[in-house]
Amino acid sequence: MLTNLFFNTVQPKNTVYTEVSPIQLLKAVKNETELEGFRKAMIKDGVALTNFFCWLDKNIGKVELTEYSLGKSWISSVPNKKVSWAIALP
């Protein structure tokens, strides 16, 4: 409580700016190489998700499904096995 009181007395009231940042506008512009990369990533993700759903459909009721076994199956369904992002997800 003292910390909040301190910061409220030292720091003036916050100002909210509603204008769009020029940096955001520049980041929003994508070139053809970036767009093609997005398209390829979406295709790879779609293939991985389809493989995972197929595996899940075949194994529901046949094997015990745990969060761990589902995670292992998801990782194995990802093409080219670059899954550092998948392991980091909560």
Q: Is the pLDDT of residue 44 over 50?
A: yes
CB atoms within 10 A of CB 57: 8
**pTM (2 decimals)?**
0.54
Contacts of 59 (CB under 8 A, 6+ apart): 65, 73
Give me the percent of the chain exceeding a pLDDT of 90: 7
Measured distance CA(37)–CA(80) in Å, rounded: 16
CB atoms within 10 A of CB 48: 19
Q: Residue 36 has what pLDDT?
A: 92
Of residues 44 and 76, the one with the higher pLDDT is 44
User: 80 — alpha (psi -120 to 50), left (phi > 0) or beta?
Assistant: left
pLDDT tens digits, 60-88: 888 888 888 888 877 776 666 555 455 44
